[in-house]
Structure 1
């Protein structure tokens, strides 16, 4: 069937015949059309050229026009805002009745226009990246997630989620911690290896301080943390650090962070880290039964090939220890990570430097100089959870004074004189507050005329004999 414009061009040639007297039926037989269609086009008044139909993009803009100013405002605030996010906000905030495709079509012309207004180069909008695929067991990706105050009601202020995803199958692992330090970071690695039953050939990281010693300019060799190098060497995997400004390099695990947050944590309450770990492990079988939309296979089936290609675990685990120098306090306590740990009083002194070696589970305190037997270890304590805790071994304080020799008295025993020297009139009163010997000294008594004679205010008179005090025998 011919289109409207083509019909018009076909019938245009027969307008002269119609004006010369040809009937609609005769013209219809020549064109193969119905006579009513011929009549419609030949009798229509208007310009000699039919109007062009509106392009599909114009139709899309007409549909979304009432919300176009809202979308433009969002793009001016964040030019790379995802279309799915825009559609979700339009539906929830403005009752948008149309599909995501309408938003997507509008963004195709709106995003470059807004970018030109903002002076953003087209190259910054492209953000193209090369999709890569790996063989089984070749790679895993690692990332952190911050779960906020999900356990504040039990006294834990911050909770972090550690994620490792096998790149070939997208088989996930997740565990929850209260710290992101190097000891917790690699302890989570050991748990992930045990979960998968092996070690991948390489692990992709971003430039986190637990892997990278310090940041360098793009294109420069990245200096790795010594403990990260030792851990990777023990478990026989390669460290793959992403290039700077390449956030798409570990999209598999970043997507997994959102999936776990939505499917495991959302709408639930937990009482401990063990509850969080248990919730994830209970969700894993259901996740492995899902057909992944990218590789098109069941995750659990593909994970079997992934697990079989992993490298074996070493016979002994490698325990990463974070090391710090600390002072010993007067109370024989060493401060570390906002908590206090005791050391033996007989082996340290105030302000002495000691080395704290902290793992995810323990805190060991070592002397910087070995003793006569060549031993540096002073104490080992379980690592405290949270802040403000005091972890004390009572045996460390045995050499310190505990006050058991201190005694008190009312003083009566010291003030009491021997029975042979004590007189009844000296019992009680102020004499009990004086020393026993001084309390028995007699005070000399003189008449007032004696003082007048001294002052020469009265005639001299014979002075009364002075009674000298006699010392007690």
Structure 2
């Protein structure tokens, strides 16, 4: 209708309805209806059909809502696939996709106790030294060219006020390595921030809880934070925007430090980051508009002091000692002292405690196996980074038999020579000499090597033996007859 009103001056100039319809691209009756003096001021609207036509997905909305409530990240493609396979759904994927998009927004609002709008978050700013953010980056088989098949992980800590970064590279994400990276970060910054933000990683959170409930911290994480004087701030589930500063740093380091380069060791990776830090600090950050290095100086000055003595975090596991005086951990085997320092022997099947540090491994005897109720160190090894390795300290097995003391003899039980031994046999024919070996009831024929040469055609068969000149006639006859 609005398009037709542009042609109203043509009607006023005397144009016919047919001419106006030709210019407007419609029927002349339509032009007359909407350009006549008594035409309606608003176009007609058809009644909405929303909710009047049943949807193919309607019988399955309860199932879809239950799946999304259990796992909000469940993809619409997976939901459609399961509906077709398990519930006989015949509709198109697009119908499921549209409903899932609406259901996600509805469930997010219902899950929030205050009914806040979903997908939005409050932007925050902090003062110098107040906060740092921590995250992991998975760099894959970055050192595969150097013969290291294990994955490489990057540990990131970013000061929220200045965006000053710290990165180090490891081949493990276990508890001891995680907090050892913290100590390296504190030494890099020259202090400890007041608060550190984490997501719900298992090295910080003991278990997951429902929204709105207090998050139980890992005991080692709580003790580490208490020793260094910072507060642990755990983000809500599925809320990556709470630590966007460090999330962005992971991508920046990959682009500016790792991309297009090859490395032979973790030390080279750490050295590449150390060489890039002055470049980063000389750049103007696009958010706060200052040089990162200038702002980082204020950030470092406001950090808390690093304690004089560090706190070593270890991860404990229980293992049993094998009959070979070894324990298995992370796919590798480590030797155990057959006799502890207090003189007590180690038993096969005995349960021991394995304390894993960032670069070493210790095995301790449990207090229940000690009369004094004390732990005793049984072994200390450098931790193997390769699966299937055997780490052995020869001193641990000094008292164990090595299998080299077993002796053999041909004498009988009373010390007399073995009647079946070589000393009791008569000399045999030089052609074939049967021999009975001590300890075996097998007769072995010994032949001269010339017999094998004759069988192989390398030597001619021997002829008749020559007759001595002084031999008598009887001897000649016997020799001929023997031949």
Of the three residues 135, 138, 160, the one matched with 1:143 is 135
| Counterpart Cα distance in 2 of 1:296 and 1:434 | 93
1:304 aligns with 2:304: no
Q: Could you tell me whether the CA contact under 8 Å between 2:420 and 2:436 is conserved in 1?
A: no
Q: Secondary structure at the match of 2:417?
A: helix
1:361 aligns with 2:359: yes
Counterpart for residue 386 of structure 2: 386
Q: Secondary structure at the match of 1:345?
A: coil
Shift of 1:372: 6.2
- Where does structure 1 differ by over 4 angstroms across 4 or more consecutive aligned residues? 114-118, 120-126, 370-375, 409-413, 421-435
Compared CA separation, residues 184 and 117, structure 1 to 2 (3 A)? closer
1:329 aligns with 2:329: no
Q: Deviation per CA, 1:3-45, whole angstroms, max 9, x where unpaired?
A: xxxxx9xxx9xx99xxxxxxxxxxxxxxxxxxxxxxxxxxxxx
Shift of 1:430: 7.0
Q: Secondary structure at the match of 1:315?
A: coil
Q: Could you tell me whether the CA contact under 8 Å between 1:115 and 1:121 is conserved in 2?
A: no
1:218 aligns with 2:201: no
Counterpart for residue 160 of structure 1: 153
Q: Secondary structure at the match of 2:127?
A: coil
Shift of 1:149: 1.0
Counterpart for residue 179 of structure 1: 172
Q: Deviation per CA, 1:66-94, whole angstroms, max 9, x where unpaired?
A: xxxxxxxxxxx999xxxxxxxxxxxxxxx
Q: Could you tell me whether the CA contact under 8 Å between 2:206 and 2:217 is conserved in 1?
A: yes
Compared CA separation, residues 422 and 388, structure 1 to 2 (3 A)? closer
Counterpart for residue 401 of structure 2: 401
Q: Deviation per CA, 1:327-379, whole angstroms, max 9, x where unpaired?
A: 10111111111111111112311111000001001111000136467451111
Compared CA separation, residues 432 and 175, structure 1 to 2 (3 A)? closer
Of the three residues 132, 135, 151, the one matched with 2:124 is 132
Q: Could you tell me whether the CA contact under 8 Å between 1:328 and 1:353 is conserved in 2?
A: yes
Counterpart for residue 415 of structure 1: 418
Shift of 1:156: 2.8
Q: Could you tell me whether the CA contact under 8 Å between 1:323 and 1:358 is conserved in 2?
A: yes
| Counterpart Cα distance in 2 of 1:134 and 1:368 | 47
Shift of 1:386: 2.1
Shift of 1:121: 6.4
Larger Rg: 1
Compared CA separation, residues 350 and 159, structure 1 to 2 (3 A)? same
Compared CA separation, residues 423 and 218, structure 1 to 2 (3 A)? closer
Compared CA separation, residues 315 and 417, structure 1 to 2 (3 A)? same
1:228 aligns with 2:221: yes
Counterpart for residue 86 of structure 1: none
Q: How many residues align?
A: 330
Q: Could you tell me whether the CA contact under 8 Å between 1:415 and 1:433 is conserved in 2?
A: no
RMSD: 3.4
1:313 aligns with 2:306: yes
Shift of 1:264: 0.6
Shift of 1:385: 1.4
